[in-house]
Structure formats: structure tokens, C-alpha cells
């Protein structure tokens, strides 16, 4: 289960830019049972990838502007990003996909 990391970025665009410099240069799309990467034509089941980075961004003007950025590394070495608005797609994902993307929150007072 991924852990929500302390966010060192001022904006989603800065985070994406930095992670792309670190090799996370593919775009992933969530599907019901898997992640899709159109750039390489591959699909990845939950057991085929690891979430390496998780950052939450909260919109200044509206709760609808909230999103989570995931840095993902597949077993075949493919590295990419997935941007997800809070809970928008949760109803259309399989239980395995929901569990894979469930974020564990660290209590800063207990760290």
C-alpha cells in the first residue's frame, strides 16, 4: 500500500516536471482492471506495477481541484505518472485496483 509522502512541490505541474526528469516519462490511465500505457501499447495488472511516489494537491478555490499524483514503476522497467482527481474513478475500479491505490496516511505526530 503506498504511503502519502510529504509534498515538497508547490504545484502539480512542478511535481510532474521533476518526476519526468527522474525518468517517469510515460502517462498511465486507470482502467477497471489494469493500468494502460498508450505510449508503449501495454497494460499492467495490479501485480505488475509498484507505486513509488504519492503526492496530494489541494486546490485553492475548490475541493473539485484536488488531485493525487502517482509515480509508478512497472515490473518491465516502464516508469510513468498517473494524475487522479480525488475519488472520481473509484467506483469504476476493480477491488484489486482500489486496494493497489489505497493510500496509507502517516500521522505526522507519530512519525
pLDDT value, residue 71: 95
Q: Give a yes or no: residue 16 inside a domain.
A: yes
pTM: 0.79
Q: Give a yes or no: residue 3 inside a domain.
A: no
Q: Give a yes or no: residue 6 inside a domain.
A: no
Nine-digit cell at 111? 512519525
CA distance 99 to 93: 10
Q: Lowest mean pLDDT: which of 9-18, 49-58, 81-90? A: 81-90
Q: Give a yes or no: residue 87 inside a domain.
A: yes
pLDDT in tens, 20-79: 999 999 999 999 899 999 999 999 999 999 999 998 887 665 555 688 899 999 999 999
Phi, psi of 48 (to 5 degrees): -95, 0
Q: What angle do CA 81, 42, 102 make, to 5 degrees?
A: 45
CA distance 43 to 49: 10
Domain hosting 83: range is 12-101
Q: How many CB atoms lie within 10 A of CB 24?
A: 24
Q: Give a yes or no: residue 36 inside a domain.
A: yes
pLDDT value, residue 15: 94
The CA–CA distances, whole Å, from 74 to 8, 69, 109 equal 24, 16, 33
Q: Give a yes or no: residue 83 inside a domain.
A: yes
Amino acid at each position: 500500500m503506498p504511503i502519502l509522502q510529504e509534498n515538497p512541490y508547490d504545484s502539480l505541474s512542478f511535481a510532474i516536471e521533476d518526476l519526468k526528469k527522474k525518468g517517469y516519462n510515460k502517462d498511465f490511465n486507470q482502467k477497471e482492471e489494469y493500468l494502460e500505457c498508450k505510449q508503449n501499447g501495454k497494460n499492467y495488472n495490479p501485480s505488475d506495477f509498484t507505486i513509488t511516489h504519492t503526492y496530494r494537491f489541494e486546490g485553492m478555490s475548490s475541493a473539485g481541484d484536488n488531485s493525487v499524483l502517482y509515480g509508478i514503476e512497472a515490473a518491465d522497467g516502464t516508469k510513468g505518472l498517473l494524475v487522479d482527481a480525488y475519488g472520481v474513478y473509484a467506483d469504476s475500479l476493480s477491488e484489486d485496483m482500489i486496494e493497489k491505490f489505497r493510500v496509507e496516511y502517516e500521522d505526522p505526530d507519530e512519525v
